[in-house]
Amino acid sequence: MGTTFDEAVAAIAGADPARVAVVSDFDGVLAELTDDPADAVMVESMRRAVVELGNLGVRRAVLTGRRSRDVAALTRLEDIAHCGHYGAELLVPGGVEVDVPEEWARWTAPIAEFGAQRFDAPLRQIGVILDNSGGGIASFHYRHASDEAAALLRLREIAAEAEDRGMAVLWGSGLMEIRPPVTMTKREGMHRLLDGEDFDVVVYIGDTRPDIEGFRALREMVEAGQARAAVCIGVRSGYTPPELEAASDLMVDGVAGVERFLAEAGRSLALRQAGVAVEHAAATCPAGPRPAPAGLALD
Ligand SMILES: [Mg+2]
């Protein structure tokens, strides 16, 4: 913490928009959280705020745990980059092919096959769900399992077997994920999105623990001289991890707070651009007596 809402808006409004990047997580930030991720919706007013920043010349991108194409279908923003699977997948603006690092890509088929083979009838019967849509991550969800102890017992066996095969295992809330043994966090994702260019201001907006890695990448960019300033914005919700709040420069309230921030940044930037245009016009028009309006008699 330490940056006010107005200071963060002013940082964007005061910069050259071509040298500003606003990167955002999707779930809980651009769209309200839903029980079923497929039901997530980015409301039209939020979409307009993101589009408006783009019209003013600001670079925008989404960095998410979802798959790139899935999130691109939800934002319906074709002129921004969508970085998915915490950075493993990069879909550039207007891109067709998703770019995946070779070290990650070579694990996608073996992991999909391993996940499918281990998802047997006993696991299904107790209500474990497998999300094995490819892309390098097989997720076993046991949150709604009828027998959680039995589910955990079996999933621990599968996890040990995966590790024996050189795969990485990540346990989350109600789930066990099998992944490639490659460090891939939002830190790597942020560098994939922004490295190779210099910025005046870089912004990242996130609501959960993995987003802290995105903040870390922005601060690394400042230390490396790649960005002059970073603004790390946390989104406050009913489940905000204290670490996120501690790592944020500024907290906003919920998805509505994010929309307010983006809209306000756009409005301030547009006003400043209009002000510059007025000053420019005043400087280039020679000041002199104005011609009298036609029809007005001057005595
Ligand atoms: Mg989120």
Q: Which two tokens stand for residue 7?
A: 């200071």
CA–centroid distance, residue 185 to ligand 1 (Å): 13
The answer to whether the CB of 49 falls within 8 A of the CB of 262 is yes
Band (280; pLDDT cuts 50, 70, 90): low
Report CA(28)–ligand 1 centroid distance (Å).
Answer: 5
Query: Is pLDDT above 50 for 297?
Result: no
Residue 249 Cα to ligand 1 middle (Å): 17
C-alpha 58/C-alpha 235 separation (Å) is 21
Report CA(192)–ligand 1 centroid distance (Å).
19
Q: Rg for the chain (alpha carbons), in Å?
A: 24
Q: Which of 125-134, 180-189, 215-224 has the lowest mean pLDDT?
A: 125-134
Between 120-129, 160-169, 188-197, 287-296, the lowest mean confidence (pLDDT) is in 287-296
Higher pLDDT, residue 258 or 94? 258
Q: Of 85, 170, 185, 96, which Cα lies nearest the Cα of 136?
A: 85
pLDDT at position 288, please? Answer: 46
- Please state, rounded to an integer, the average pLDDT across all residues of the chain: 92
The residue to which tokens 């050189």 are assigned: 166
pLDDT recorded at residue 299: 35
pLDDT score of 283: 63
Q: Is the pLDDT of residue 240 over 60?
A: yes
Tell me, in angstroms, the distance from the centre of ligand 1 to residue 27's CA: 4
CA of 272 to the centre of ligand 1 (A): 31
Q: How far is the CA of 61 from the centre of ligand 1 (A)?
A: 14
pTM: 0.86
Q: Residue 65: which of 39, 27, 32, 33 has the closest Cα?
A: 27
Ligand 1 centre distance from Cα of residue 72 (Å): 15
The whole-angstrom separation of Cα 199 and Cα 226 is 6
Give the DSSP per-residue string, 236-286: E-TT--HHHHHH-SEEEEHHHHHHHHHHHHHHHHHHHHHHHHHHHHHHHSP
pLDDT at position 277: 64
pLDDT one-digit tens code per residue, 69-93:
999 999 999 999 999 998 999 999 9
CA nearest to 231, candidates 222, 239, 240, 223: 222
